[in-house]
Amino acid sequence: MNILPAIDIKDGKAVRLFKGDFNQQTVVNTSPIAQAKLFSTSGLTYLHIVDLDGALQGEAVNAELIQEIKKVSNMRVEVGGGIRHLSQIASYLESGVDRVIIGSMAVKHPEFVKEAIDRFGSEKIVIGIDAKNGFVSTEGWLEQSQISYLDLAKQMSEYGATIFVYTDIDKDGTLTGPSFPHYEKLVEQLPDCQIIASGGVHSMTDLEKLEKIGVSGTIVGKAYYSGAITLEEMVEVEKN
């Protein structure tokens, strides 16, 4: 199982949010580039980056900073936040970013996902599903839809998507443990897809349980920044 350390960017800084609330943010590093360099020395494979400004504004606000992070790290990088146009995806991929995450557009314009996969390939496109009470949220988690996380995942799979990041918003940044039953359902219903867990991780036991469920990766954010899980422990899980 891959462990993906997270860097969420807001106003040029690396921050963490509590349950996706922009009014409850903590700066964890004033330099996302310095943070990326630290992660790059660990030996971990992937880096998960979210452009929070982009998610709010619907455009790739921090694209240049993210492209610089890719240059200074030796990690595979996936990026989400504000992806609304194929040209944004093309720009990221051309700059060396390895995967681009489509979130809101998967709900509002599902055909966009099919177009992106047809053009760039399923290995370059990640579907980001962020849910509250089981229903998908969009626009930086500020809008609530009536689509269940599982129904959206199945629909996107039919469009050719093979990689998913699922976040339970009520768990994100809380250190209260992931929504294990949701991951069990996703792995069961989409056996040929890669499911990446995100939100609530707070211990090595969580990582071990997610690995047993069969997720292909787990994003670690606050658990690392709070000291609950060390970088060495994250590497240990990925290498075993």
17 against 71, higher pLDDT: 71
Residue 114: predicted pLDDT:
97
Q: Which residues contact 67 (CB under 8 A, 6 or more apart)?
A: 92, 95, 96, 97
192 catalytic, yes or no?
no
Marked catalytic residue, from 8, 51, 168, 172: 8
Residue 175: predicted pLDDT:
86
Q: Which residue is listed with tokens 């979210």?
A: 50
* Coil/strand/helix, residue 221: coil
Report the share of the chain in percent with pLDDT over 70: 99
* Coil/strand/helix, residue 154: helix
- pLDDT tier at 74 (50, 70, 90 boundaries)? confident
Tell me the pLDDT tens digit for each residue of 162-214: 999 999 988 888 888 999 999 999 999 999 999 999 999 999 999 999 999 99
- pLDDT tier at 96 (50, 70, 90 boundaries)? very high
Tell me the pLDDT tens digit for each residue of 18-58: 877 788 889 999 999 999 999 999 999 999 999 999 988 88
Residue 216: predicted pLDDT:
98
Marked catalytic residue, from 51, 53, 130, 206: 130
Rg over alpha carbons for the chain, rounded to the nearest Å, is: 16
Q: Which residues contact 76 (CB under 8 A, 6 or more apart)?
A: 45, 46, 47, 98, 99
pTM of the model: 0.95
- pLDDT tier at 11 (50, 70, 90 boundaries)? very high
d(C-alpha 8, C-alpha 16), whole Å: 7
Helix ranges (DSSP H) in 81-197 = 86-94, 104-108, 110-120, 149-158, 180-189
Residue 58: predicted pLDDT:
85
Residues 118-125 have a mean pLDDT of 98
Report the share of the chain in percent with pLDDT over 90: 84
8 catalytic, yes or no?
yes
Residue 6 predicted with pLDDT over 90: yes
Helix ranges (DSSP H) in the chain = 32-40, 52-57, 63-72, 86-94, 104-108, 110-120, 149-158, 180-189, 204-213, 222-225, 231-239
Superfamily of domain 2-239: Aldolase class I (3.20.20.70)
Residue 140: predicted pLDDT:
65
Helix 149-158 to helix 110-120 angle (10° resolution) is 40
